[in-house]
Chain A
Amino acid sequence: MEVPIVRLVLENSVMSRPDWSLAADGTFTPGIHLVSGDVGSGKSTLALLMAGLAAPRRGAVIREGIGPAMLSFQFPEFHVTGLSVADECRSWGLEPGPVLVSAGLDLSMDRPALSLSRGELKRLHLACLLSREYDLLLLDEPFSSLDCPGKEWAAREIGKRSRGITVVFTHEQCIFPHTDHIWEIQEGALVDCGGMPGALHAWEHAPALIRRLVMDGTVPDDLTQDAIMEAACRTRE
């Protein structure tokens, strides 16, 4: 049986505004991709482009074998369509009970969704999103508004995704999900740093700890906390 090819190709795509532009060229295949870049570098615009919700000024975005796709915006309230917590879960086609358990939230089902704190809403939103299957899942700043335990939970849940293309756009510097491939936005261009762990050598936006580990020759296999801890504790020869 022939396995369908799932990939998203950015073919010399250019997005621009009068005072800003971003050039993107590369192929995203199934796995978890991390796109890092400074605030204002164009991560959200790139996410819109990849989701097909914005058109490039030049070039093309080619989607092959991609069925259901979803872009999660940085602010979770933009996605709220249900009045209560239970309605909101159902608006994603999910039963509220298991979603709340997976989000680690102890909330009344009848509570208005928009009365939750942004952190709670973000957890609820991510739990709904990650309970569904997508061929292309684009997460714009999934760790924003979350406290440390929340970020660790989100990283674990994102890392569990085993099918489709998952792209995490973030400027987070401490907690990351399991990552297969790293990209970064440098001086108005999307740069392919490569697959893990080799990508860590080319990653300009790498957190200080990872840069130090790479300099010391103890390169982590992954970006998860466990992998970084393992590398930091690794005995050098």
Chain B
Amino acid sequence: MQDPRIRILAACLLSAAAFISLIGAVAAVAWWLLFTPRLRCIRHRMAVFAAWALFCVVSLVIYLSGGDGISYLVRMTAILLIGTWLYADSVQGDFPVLGTWLLGPKTGFELGMTAGMAMQSADGLGDDFARVRLASAQKQVPWGIRSAISVGRVLVCDALVRADEMAELLAVRGYRRGGTCCPRFRTPVWDIAAGVCAGAVILVAVIPVSEFFILYR
């Protein structure tokens, strides 16, 4: 999808639909199957699988404690798929452009730039994680909860240090507030169709299914 406005709006609508109801989640997965490159768009497959495994564990706990674990799993899976598609489809510079278009050159640009930097940081996390694991393995630290906490600490501290360095760099370069950005978007028909269908998905999630089938009533 080329238009970041439609991409992000669609992701928000689909995530909300999946969160609201099981029907919405199924419709969101159907949308994902129709409008995205499906499994080919998943980056960092191991991380996605780990997140999904975590959802499976939580849903099992919900199921065993008498709740609707299956509904939870389907809804969270839909949100995960939409999130991975949004992440994979984003290109550098999307967020400042979108932010400026939405909220103007001050607040919008700043929010967009912050989101862009967060995405950039997320991109590097996978590589950093691999390096930290290799370093731990060389020290013969067994992989477990304790070492996972240690790895998490390193990654979080590293992200904070980089954010701090980036803030210093911006200050040194004289950045004070806002910025200039001339948003231009390409909106192919396919993007519009995908956006309209995402709108239909949220309707399906919000309006009871029986409302669509008069004969059924």
What residues on A are CB-neighbors of B136 within 8 Å? 81
Q: Does B150 contact A (CB under 8 A)?
A: yes
**When the two chains form their complex, are residues B141 and A81 in contact, meaning their CB atoms are under 8 A apart?**
yes
**When the two chains form their complex, are residues A114 and B138 in contact, meaning their CB atoms are under 8 A apart?**
no
Q: Which size class do B's interface residues fall under?
A: 10 to 19
Min CB distance A118 to B, Å, is 8
Known A114-B153, A114-B154; judge A79-B139 contact (CB<8 A).
yes
**When the two chains form their complex, are residues A78 and B154 in contact, meaning their CB atoms are under 8 A apart?**
yes
- How many contacting A-B pairs (Cβ < 8 A)? 35
Describe B's contact surface by its main secondary structure: helix
Q: Does B128 contact A (CB under 8 A)?
A: yes
Q: Does A70 contact B (CB under 8 A)?
A: yes
**When the two chains form their complex, are residues B147 and A81 in contact, meaning their CB atoms are under 8 A apart?**
yes
Q: Which size class do A's interface residues fall under?
A: 10 to 19
Within 8 A of A (CB), among B129-150: 131-132, 134-136, 138-139, 141, 147, 150
Chain B residues within 8 Å of A, Cβ to Cβ: 128, 131-132, 134-136, 138-139, 141, 147, 150, 153-154, 157-158, 161
Chain A residues within 8 Å of B, Cβ to Cβ: 51, 53, 70-71, 73, 75, 77-81, 83, 91-92, 114, 118
Give me 20 A-to-B residue pairs in the complex whose CB atoms sit less than 8 angstroms apart, sorted by A's number: A51-B138, A70-B138, A73-B135, A77-B157, A77-B158, A78-B128, A78-B131, A78-B132, A78-B135, A78-B154, A80-B150, A81-B139, A81-B141, A81-B147, A81-B150, A83-B153, A91-B139, A114-B153, A114-B154, A114-B157
